[in-house]
Chain A
């Protein structure tokens, strides 16, 4: 397996200035982060607001450049301007507010926006648009206006728009934060399908832990550093630590943890209801 995104002591600092343009302080949004993400993986990045996860996402898309260290996307150093468009094509990006990432008033035209910018020939654009809309299950809406869609549907259009650029990797910056539970499920199911069917690497940034349960690997960030890292099972067995980092633990995980504290002999890192009932049955 080869890596798609790799960072070496990635650091990002910005300065805050007062009204007279004097520097008040310097904030380290990312603090010497080393990552190595393999092609085809489903990665979840957790952390509370301001933990540096969005800043990290913007580095992957070369929307921000490191102030220290290096990040390689598909083997390309993002500081190398010559590869800017290749990098953005390799790693597509989905943002929090689905309304603010749509350009066109007709859905299929919005999906075609990326390929148009890349200079893809017209016929090929149409093929890609059709395929992308099908992959996210929105073919029926191709000629419609985005204004009447639900949040989840809008976000799926956003994903189709990135997909039409044929990326190897999709970075999603809290794509479900503004959605209702149905929309959230829709979007998460869609990205899992893309990960499995199209072998696209997914980097999902979220603060909903239940969305990270099926990931291959989980990172938990705080103050610009990766505080916890591992499989969901490994990470979610550390309930106290997660709560201290302000993460919401799924009720089943918390319940298992509580029962264990009261002396019930349960395994670590229970993430699903069946795992808990299974383990409890085993006891008696």
Chain B
């Protein structure tokens, strides 16, 4: 059970003077149940890449395989694919259009030609899953705040019961509180509902906290791939791609240079804290009430 891009190349406007190679030789397999993050600066090809996963863009050469089947083969049911590989675009404003929140969430399942009862039941469930408050049900989606609109947009895709959920910068433009809420929602969907999450994000700190695996894209190629620990080891290389590592990792590197025996793979505040406390203890520094606080 997997979603796979095999030797995918994508060229924009091929055969014209405007020709532009966007993706080159992409090979990715996403297993069911994964939490994958894709990072890369603007123009690295990440938006084009994710649109291949649910057949919104056809590769110039290469294959997109869903459970081993070529999604661009004749007779392949793309509508089925799009319900099983859900995609939430960056701005919820691009998909909300119905008069009420509930009707908007019904749009996806209705396109699947399900019975009206099934449509409603799914919308109901998706609202709960995405944490859309009950009082919003009859409201217009356009009256909601940025964070709430995003929840409704996610619910609209969840109502199709996807096994994979792709999200393009789902936290862009939200304030820190709103951002944490959306990321926690994704974490819950991943852990409790077993949905594979594919997250495109600029925020290294968010990626370090949530993703199991990272793909780094630069100039249309996959240049790094691995766990957050593995990828964030390449701080210099990443900065060459216009990306950075989480600040926690930079702190650990700076401390290492100063002779502290710390874990340079620590990427989150919690990991960094534990490692620094251990290093200080080794040096015999008295850290007062350490251990009794929150060890």
Contacts and interface: CB of A to CB of B under 8 A. Distances in A.
Interface of A: 48-50, 96, 150-151, 177-178, 180-183, 207, 246-248, 250-252, 254-255, 258-259, 261-265, 273-274, 276-277, 280-281, 283-284
A262 B290 contact: yes
Contacts of B177: 48, 246
B145 interface: yes
A103 B185 CA distance: 39
A252 B247 contact: yes
Name, among A150, A254, A280, the residue most crowded by chain B CB atoms within 10 Å (CB to CB): A280
A252 B251 contact: yes
B285 A150 contact: no
Contacts of B179: 248
Contacts of B248: 251, 255
Contact of B173 (A177, A183, A277): A177
B68 interface: no
Which bracket fits the contact residues of B? 35 or more
Contacts of A280: 255, 258, 260, 276, 280
A284 B283 contact: yes
Contacts of B277: 259, 262, 264
Interface string B61-90: 000000000000000000000000000000
Contact of A182 (B41, B254, B272): B41
Given A248-B176, A262-B295, A273-B247, 11 more contacts: A48-B176, A49-B147, A177-B172, A246-B177, A251-B247, A251-B248, A252-B251, A259-B273, A273-B251, A274-B254, A280-B258
A283 B244 CA distance: 29
Contact of B178 (A49, A252, A255, A263): A49
Nearest to A97: B173
B202 interface: yes
B146 interface: yes
B94 interface: no
B244 to A, nearest CB: 7
Contacts of A274: 254
Given A50-B145, A180-B42, A251-B205, A262 B273 contact: yes
A51 to B, nearest CB: 9
B1 interface: no
18 contacts: A48-B176, A49-B178, A177-B173, A180-B41, A181-B41, A246-B175, A247-B176, A248-B179, A251-B205, A251-B247, A255-B251, A255-B269, A259-B273, A264-B285, A264-B287, A265-B288, A277-B255, A283-B285
